[in-house]
Amino acid sequence: MDKMNDEFYMSLALDMAERAQGQTGINPVVGCVVVKDGAMIGLGTHLQRGTGHAEVHALNMAAGKAQGSTAYVTLEPCSHYGKTPPCSQRLIDEGVARVVVACEDPNPQVAGRGVAMLREQGIEVEVGLLRSRALRLNEKFIKYILTKQPFVTLKSASTLDGKLATRTGDSKWISNGQAREIVHTLRHRHQGIMVGVNTVIADNPSLTTRMEVPGLNPVRIVIDSTLRIPLDASVVSDKQAPTIVVTTESADPVKRAALTDAGVQIVVSGAGPRVDLQAAMMALGELEIGSILLEGGGTLNGAMLENGFVDRVILFFAPKIVGGGVAAPGTFDFPGVELMRDAITLEGLEVEVLGDNVCISGTPIR
């Protein structure tokens, strides 16, 4: 049984924040618990960009009884006027006596100002409780707020010999049902989902979120340097979610106009012959897409990883071996390194067994 202390309440705040992943757009996920005289009197989670922050929801629940209380907040309370008033001021106005913060806000508009504002008013502030978990929870927000580029999670399912399909192109299904359920949760938790045009042509995927309960569909992003995408592809015609096609200046203007007429947004990145991925990441960031789930084939996976655009790797392995040599597509297709010491290495590894599948995830070391 968990003992009731600062860590207990902060864990609850983090649990609430985690449940809101995918709902807040480029905003962080934040949880808040208000405790007074040994009892929780307010709980709150930031649910949607432009709406009340976690502290506001928790203090509203406390209904004027927060005088002398302790507030546990997973991210430093804001101190500036944005789409909502500053939460630090609300904590001061409500008479909160102590604030426990998991981690500082990397947003330059906050960056310590919220904590300073509280301390100036005599409120006791402690920072750093469960910091690592809090930072991991908001890794997408942190990447975007500091670089204005999306956080990219590369997800792939392969056989034990690293193949995405057999030599005939058959790929259904490599992973099991448990793994596929997790993938749809990942789609819900990312603002965009990215594939290459070869995947669209070969599989005609819908790239939507399909779970037992309704989930959020990410914006569908297709990398297509010459606009080979069919006009009858599901991502063009089904209207289940917005679709962006990233192409080059040399792409056919007639096909571009046809896609635009079909409701597809065209983003031009580079003169050609290939899409300039760096320009593409910047452009997608400008469109306020703060996180992307990359479900590409070997070529796109390899290019994104080799160029340092991948922030997290999630690999599902099934106990299958298909062979096929170069005719069977692999997870990563790029020129590669000459020496093993130059291999791209993952750190912070996590391993999960999902029935007969194994999921390995980690962060590429830059």
Active site residues: 55
- Which of 267, 287, 276, 354 minimizes the C-alpha distance to 315? 354
- Which of 281, 279, 270, 258 minimizes the C-alpha distance to 225? 270
Helices and strands, number each (H, E), in the chain = 12, 14
Beta carbons of 163 and 328 less than 8 angstroms apart = yes
For tokens 């309440």, the residue is 9
Under DSSP, the state recorded for 83 is: S
DSSP 221-258: EEE-TT----TTSHHHHS-SS-EEEEE-TTS-HHHHHH
Strands (E), 93-215: 98-101, 124-127, 151-159, 192-196
Q: How many CA atoms lie within 13 A of 159 on its CB side?
A: 18
Strands (E), 218-356: 219-223, 243-247, 265-268, 291-294, 312-318, 346-354
- Quote the radius of gyration of the chain (alpha carbons, Å): 23
